Amino acid sequence: MRITYQSREFTPTEKYLMTKSPSIISVKNVEDGTLLEVTGYLHYEDEDRNGNISCMLDIFLSVINMKGSFKTASILSTSVTM
């Protein structure tokens, strides 16, 4: 993994949550009407076993749904294989 841009300095834990954590939420799984409070974003390139490079954009945010519950999450929003 090679970070190409970050909107702010992230802790190692935040970088893990944004890039490798199994708790990453895909945008397609976000409920309509969900309010998202973006706290930062990270652009990076990742290489798979076959040498294919994917450009990734992860958004670090707080998720507030319409019922008022709150949690911190990382949402994988873009993946382009080069």
Q: What is the pLDDT of residues 29-64, one digit of tens each?
A: 777 777 777 888 888 888 889 998 888 888 887 655
pLDDT at 5: 92
pLDDT at 43: 87
Residue 58, beta-bridge partner list: 42, 76
Q: What is the pTM of this model?
A: 0.64
- What element of type H or E holds 55? strand 53-64
- The answer to whether the CB of 64 falls within 8 A of the CB of 37 is yes
Residue 1, pLDDT > 50, answer: yes
Tokens (6 digits) for 68: 């008022």
